Amino acid sequence: MSFSAESLGFSIKQNQHGKGNQKTDVDPILAMNEEHKKQLQQQAKESDSTKKRPRREERCEVCQTEAYKYRCPGCEHKVEKQCDGVRKVNHYIPLKQFTDNNIIDDYTFLESVNRAVVKVGDDHVPFRMKQLKIQCLKRGIFLHLMPKDMTKRKKNTTLYESSRQRMLWKIQWIFVAINVKTVTPKAEETATLSKLLNDQFEDITIRHHLREYIRDPDSLCVLMQREFTKERQFYLFNTNDNLMQCLKSKNVIEHPTLLVIMRDELKNYELIEGPEEEVKPVEDEPPKEIEE
């Protein structure tokens, strides 16, 4: 198929040297490309002029012209002026959609709750408990109270009897060899450990469980674990000392927990001696609650 210059819209030029009406050859492919290029440019202009503006709810809230590029992390379906800007932390996520990022979010949330609980700490301690701490300090005992909703706090029966100016301690006893736990709800601070221990042996409701200890009371040892340390260290108490003497210069969380063992078991425990200073618990590491 052949093309002529006239059919493609080109005029005939004369030779510059005046050699008659000789026609100039034109590349037909080049001519078609030029024409196609013009058509594309025209279509682009028409497309720009007829391009739709984004809907009002999709426009940038600053320029009100272009479509928005970013969305607030607190908005799943953005509703105008009803976004609090806070990422949802309690919404349901199907297990198939659960990712490592969700685990990190949950962990961060729980850590923030934990810090808030510890921070409250003594800020909302009732007067009775504040008085209890003051009386303990007067006796050289460093009492630490847990948040009010913790089980150990709720079950603590320790109190200061102002009318008689004495401390009544809750004691949890753990007879290690047989894994039996008992409680003295209100032990007088002036009572010796041997007397308090003997009261446990005379309790008919648990006496039959403690036969092994009752047979040889002189070989019994009473320990208390040191608080706020990663090592398992224990104080060995003299059973002839009273409770106040034993707890002096010791950190106590809510109430003392005393371990009763046989003397030949002492080799299994790391014992420490001497007084200690009051320990301020780290905010991120609240006292651990021991199941009672």
How many Cβ atoms are within 10 Å of 247's Cβ, its own excluded? 25
pLDDT single digits (tens) 4-32: 444 444 444 444 444 444 444 556 566 66
pLDDT single digits (tens) 23-78: 445 565 666 667 767 777 777 666 555 555 555 556 777 777 777 776 665 555 55
Question: How many residues are recorded in the chain?
Answer: 292
Cα angle 176, 180, 184 (rounded to 5 degrees) comes to 105
User: What pLDDT sits at residue 150?
Assistant: 85
Which residues neighbour 126 within 8 Å (Cβ) at sequence distance 6 or greater? none
pLDDT class of 291 with cuts at 50, 70, 90: very low
Q: Indicate yes or no: pTM above 0.95.
A: no
More confident residue, 116 or 131: 131
User: What pLDDT sits at residue 56?
Assistant: 58
Query: What CATH number is given for 125-272 in this structure?
Result: 3.10.20.90
More confident residue, 42 or 265: 265
User: What pLDDT sits at residue 75?
Assistant: 56
Judged against a pLDDT cut of 70, whether residue 280 lies above it is answered with no
Distance CA 122, CA 106 (A): 27
Which residues neighbour 135 within 8 Å (Cβ) at sequence distance 6 or greater? 160, 167
Are 120 and 104 spatial neighbours (Cβ–Cβ below 8 Å)?
no
Q: Where are the domains of the chain?
A: 91-124, 125-272
Report the mean per-residue pLDDT for the chain.
77
